[in-house]
Amino acid sequence: MSLRLAVLGAGAVGGSVLDLAGDYGHDVVAFADSSSSAVDPAGLDPSAVHDRKERDGVVGEAAPEAVFDADYDVLVEATPTTLGDAEPGFSHVERALADDRHVVLANKGPVAERYADLRALEAESEGTVQFEAAVGGAIPVLSTISDLGAPHVTAARGVLNGTANFILSRMAAEGLDYEHVLAEAQDLGVAEADPTFDVDGIDAALKFVILANVLSDGETEYALDDAEVEGIRNVPGTALDLAAEDGRTVRLIGEATADGVRVAPRLIPQGSALSVTGTQNIVQLETKHAGQLNISGRGAGGPETATAVLSDVSRLE
């Protein structure tokens, strides 16, 4: 069945959803950036929208809010993640649910910071909320947990920030210091000009907070403030040298367990499943009856994250 998508957020993820929706048999009928929107009940032409954005800095004539008046089935919320009240993302979700539409989130804010509020709104709506894209990009983490059943998964741990992992694995492989590798990562576009979110562990923590919320299945609500978070700025090359001498390495590891959420640089054996290199991500699920499951892949990027968004959309059919 073809669904009509309204996409909020014209960054890498939103733009890729616009490009790839047709490949999944869906139409994007509304598309908005922070200042404008384009609406076409027959489905937008991706290249025309991208051209307009490049040429005029807007995606269309209408105001962003016009998206909500379009005739759509699923709201794709792909605006930048914000902390605290998770606005404006949260209000976007609230509005779509009030209109009994489905919501697919790529934005981590509402699921990490206001999980209970979100679930309460969902309970009163005909629509449902999906957020596979918020955790681990293309890696099907949440759908795997859903298949296993959250009560059968006792813990999730792993590497869910490609920037921090790129920096640590390159420092270890090349014997370079943090500042040097960070500058290189910024040149390559792997790290942003302001890398705080990634190198201080906040991005990874948000994802593990989401996992904790999902695993706790409504019993305990977690938010970023509940997480113990330490980034990688205090991991010098000397620590990686010493780890390597003993067959170990250091990775920014997140954990969502019954004890809560923790993100910190940790010593792990070289060559172990969690010692992924570069921007690769991995999640390890600890199951009650079936041991460990490891799922790895690309945890970020426009088409990768859009793939998770469109998988969520397909689940709504």
Binding residues for NADPH: 108
Cβ nearer to another protein, comparing 35 with 294: 294
Please give the Cα distance from 76 to 90 (Å, whole number). Answer: 12
Considering only 92, 101, 114, 157, the residue that binds another protein (CB under 8 A) is 157
Work out how close the CB of 62 gets to another protein at its nearest, in angstroms, rounded to a whole number.
Answer: 49
DSSP 25-72: T-EEEEEE-SS-EEE-TT---HHHHHHHHHHHSSS-SB-GGGGGGS--
Give 144 or 272: the residue with its C-beta nearer to another protein: 272
What DSSP state is assigned to residue 227? S
Cα separation values, 147 from 141, 157, 210, 257, 287, Å: 10, 18, 17, 19, 12
Name the residue type at position 98: A
User: Active site includes 207?
Assistant: yes
| Site residues (CB under 8 A) for another protein, limited to 163-192 | 177-178
Q: Is 151 in the site for another protein (CB under 8 A)?
A: no
Give the residue with the Cβ less far from another protein, 58 or 268. 268
Instruction: Please state the closest distance from residue 29 (CB atom) to another protein, in A.
Output: 44
Q: Binding to another protein (CB under 8 A): which residues in 35-64? A: none
* Residue 2 C-beta-side C-alpha neighbours within 13 Å: 12
**3-state SS assignment for residue 176:** coil
- If one asks whether residue 66 binds another protein (CB under 8 A), the answer comes out as no
Asked if residues 133 and 105 have their Cβ atoms less than 8 Å apart, the reply is yes
User: What dihedral do alpha carbons 155, 265, 250, 186 form, nearest 10°?
Assistant: 110
The continuous run of DSSP H or E covering 14 comes out as helix 12-20
Question: Using CB under 8 A, which residues numbered 249 to 308 contact another protein?
Answer: 250, 253, 264-269, 272-274, 284, 286, 292
Annotated catalytic residue, options 101, 114, 207, 251: 207
CB of 290 to another protein, least distance (A): 14
What residues form the annotated binding site for L-homoserine? 192
What pairing do the DSSP bridges indicate for beta strands 260-269 and 248-257? antiparallel
Whole-number minimum distance, CB 310 to another protein, in Å?
30
- Let me know: does 158 contact 208? Beta carbons within 8 Å: no
DSSP H helices, 124-268, are: 141-148, 162-174, 178-188, 196-199, 202-216, 237-245
Between 109 and 201, whose beta carbon lies closer to another protein? 201
How big is the site for another protein, counted in residues (CB under 8 A)? 30
Site string for another protein, 215-244 (x = CB under 8 A): -------------------xxxxxx-xxx-
Nearest distance from C-beta of residue 281 to another protein, angstroms = 15
The pairing of strands 102-105 and 4-8 is unpaired
Interaction of residue 207 with another protein, rule CB under 8 A: no
Instruction: Look at the chain and count its residues.
Output: 317
Residue 138 touching another protein (CB under 8 A):
no
Q: Closest separation between CB of residue 217 and another protein, Å?
A: 21
C-beta closer to another protein: residue 188 or 242: 242
Residue with smaller CB distance to another protein, 65 or 259: 259
**Does the footprint of another protein cover residue 148 (CB under 8 A)?**
no
Cα 21 from Cα 220, distance rounded (Å) = 35
Which residues are tagged catalytic? Answer: 207
Residue ranges in contact with another protein by CB under 8 A: 155, 157, 177-178, 234-239, 241-243, 245-246, 248, 250, 253, 264-269, 272-274, 284, 286, 292
